Amino acid sequence: MSITDIQVTDELVHGDDHHEEHHEQSFIFKYIFSTDHKTIAKQFLITGIFWAILGGGLSVIFRLQLGFPDMDMGFLQPFMGDWISNSGKLDPEFYLAMITMHGTIMVFFVLTAGLSGTFSNYLIPLQLGARDMASGFMNLLSYWFFFLSSLIMFISMFLSTGPASGGWTIYPPLSALPQAMSGSGMGMTLWLVSMVFFIASTLLGGINYITTVINLRTEGMTFRRMPLTIWAFFITAVLGLLSFPVLVACVLLLVFDRSFGTSFYLSEIFIGGEALPNLGGSPILFQHLFWFFGHPEVYIVILPALGITSEVISTNSRKPIFGYTAMIGSILAIAFLSFIVWAHHMFITGMNPFLGSIFMFLTLIIAIPSAVKAFNYITTLWKGNLVFTPAMLFSIGLVSFFISGGLTGLFLGNAAIDINLHDTYFVVAHFHLVMGSAAFFGLLAGVYHWFPKMFGRMMDEKLGYIHFWLTFVGVYLVFFPLHYIGIAGFPRRYYSFTNFDAFSSFVDLNSFVTVAAIITFGAQFIFLFNFFYNIFKGKKAPLNPWNSNTLEWTTPRIPEHGNWPGEIPKVYRWPYDYSKPGAKDDFIPQTVPYHQTKESNTDFENEESKKEQSAT
């Protein structure tokens, strides 16, 4: 066969300038089914904000139940219908449904999709100097799978039998047997369906992030010149790629147990005096699979927040990040270790104590890279020219939570102590500080810092300060007392404690926590106003409002699809040249070549500058 009749169409290979053929798109393709990473990032952000309000609202309601068990909740009947009895009492099963939804929403929809989805999408191409993600189409799918997943989870909350109610960790047999509780029926089914789409979304997103970081860095953007934000998003995506499939395995077997009658997780169960046919399964198997995913997942939540913090703290301390290499090293170490510590969630499952001590040892090792990060943040701040923007305050707040929540991790990591503390409010306090609040602060820091780039306008600083202080103090007032309540033995996920005399002395403390929670939640509306109002009415943002070095600030005020109107900028240096001795300004953007900064170059950089010039 001759080759002549074969047309060589090299359509897969696109040049750099391919995005410049800009044509007007219809509203639908520009704002809804957009493949522009910036639009997709905003879609993730707005959806995440929606979920955060809902998830936070749920927590206020169940805190009311915990803090004021005798309260008449009749006023909630218009929203919650039959879940509030006519005497104004919250339905106990719905209490469980609410904590389950709160956990699911916060962990997955807000702090995984809302955080990674927003900032990985937004910053990876902008900070690496790429026109867009490796595949805009996959990115589009990633968002719409997330949307579908959200929709299904949302609908499940309106079922007459209630949404899933077995906790965000959905342990069987509770979650596997529809007759176990009303939420384990249709609600649990929808939870599982929703999670299938969620996982598909995360994997599509993650594959895209990794591919983009590996393949689409601009000239000069070596791995050693990548901002720590990108390093964090990159490793987060790797963690997701390796751990979410295990969740698929875990959930798949659960689906078979639920819908086809297999016995992977079920054995010798009696319900209402009647024996179920299932034999030979083990619920502990579920825990192994779940936590093999679950522990990396908590780092999937916190690493992006730490990445954002690195960037914000360095910029606003006007100092290079302390220990850039150590930061990368600790991200990698955390990522690796996070796969071999899962059984610290299972110390009381009757595991072999010898095995328990191995997992205890591995768990405590994680404290080292975590401490390296905390230490590096503090040393970056040390003697810096601190500029207290709201983003900076939230980043410092994150460091504070990460430390105080991480310390309690050391207690829990000791099997002997954990046997007492497991499933008490002490654990709740631990992870709300170290993961919940820290990652939430990372998210807020990111929004305050990149809002000018996202919307071309500034947020109001004063409102930002008020928001920060109310939230920062509020978080401690809410979660610090929970440590005491936990040490006293309060189990988590209980509807009420009024039947136990031992706990009666904690009634006031519980009411106090609830009041603090309401105030903290209320403070978020200041943020919401600040955010939505200034999208339209904010003062126009300068091109580089924080005098920052990274590439996103070299784009126009409102970048089009393709990000840079002309050529993609080249990168000549790392992103942390702040307050370099000898330099005229206290920052040198990554796009400035060494041969233009003779006055501040080191010897090594002078060598580099010669190479630059001979190259041109």
Which residues are near other proteins by CB under 8 A? 1, 3, 5-10, 12-14, 16, 18, 131, 134-138, 141, 199-200, 203-204, 206-208, 210-212, 214-216, 241-246, 248-250, 252-253, 256, 260-264, 267, 279-282, 284-285, 288-289, 292
Does position 345 interact with ligand HEM (CB under 6 A)? The reply is yes
Does position 483 interact with Cu ion (CB under 5 A)? The reply is no
CB of 334 to ligand HEM, least distance (A): 8
Dihedral sign for Cα 6, 12, 14, 20, please: positive
Could you tell me if residue 475 is left (phi over 0), alpha (psi between -120 and 50 degrees) or otherwise beta? Answer: alpha
Q: Where are the beta strands (DSSP E) in 401-554?
A: none
Token pair for residue 592?
Answer: 């400035």
Token pair for residue 281?
Answer: 């399964």
Token pair for residue 432?
Answer: 């709300």
Q: d(Cα 598, Cα 441) in Å, to the nearest integer? A: 39
CB of 17 to other proteins, least distance (A): 11
Whether 163 and 96 have beta carbons less than 8 Å apart is answered as: no
Q: d(Cα 143, Cα 44) in Å, to the nearest integer? A: 7
Scanning residues 284 to 313, which ones bind ligand HEM (CB under 6 A)?
Answer: 298, 301-302
Q: d(Cα 42, Cα 230) in Å, to the nearest integer? A: 18
Cα–Cα distances in angstroms (integers) from residue 166 to residues 96, 348, 438, 515, 536, in the given order: 7, 19, 25, 27, 42
Q: d(Cα 245, Cα 440) in Å, to the nearest integer? A: 25
Q: Which does 326 bind (CB under 5 to 8 A by kind): other proteins, ligand HEM, Cu ion, none?
A: none
Which one-letter DSSP state was computed for residue 539? P
- With CB under 6 A as the contact rule, the residue among 59, 156, 189, 370 that binds ligand HEM is 370
Q: d(Cα 458, Cα 144) in Å, to the nearest integer? A: 29
Does position 427 interact with ligand HEM (CB under 6 A)? The reply is yes
Binding segment for ligand HEM (CB under 6 A), chosen from 87-95, 279-287, 310-318, 410-418, is 410-418
Which one-letter DSSP state was computed for residue 460? P
Could you tell me if residue 306 is left (phi over 0), alpha (psi between -120 and 50 degrees) or otherwise beta? Answer: alpha
Q: d(Cα 509, Cα 514) in Å, to the nearest integer? A: 9
Does position 573 interact with Cu ion (CB under 5 A)? The reply is no
Number of residues in contact with Cu ion under rule CB under 5 A: 1
Does position 295 interact with Cu ion (CB under 5 A)? The reply is yes
Q: Which is nearer to other proteins, 214 or 275 (CB)?
A: 214
Q: Which does 556 bind (CB under 5 to 8 A by kind): other proteins, Cu ion, ligand HEM, none?
A: none
Whether 209 and 118 have beta carbons less than 8 Å apart is answered as: no
Q: Which is nearer to other proteins, 289 or 381 (CB)?
A: 289
Q: Which is nearer to Cu ion, 418 or 552 (CB)?
A: 418
Q: Which does 314 bind (CB under 5 to 8 A by kind): ligand HEM, Cu ion, other proteins, none?
A: none
Residue with the CB atom nearest ligand HEM in the bound state: 409
Q: Which does 505 bind (CB under 5 to 8 A by kind): Cu ion, ligand HEM, other proteins, none?
A: none
Interacting residues with ligand HEM (CB under 6 A): 169, 298, 301-302, 344-345, 363, 366-367, 370, 406, 409-410, 412-413, 418, 421-422, 427, 430-431, 434-435
Interacting residues with Cu ion (CB under 5 A): 295
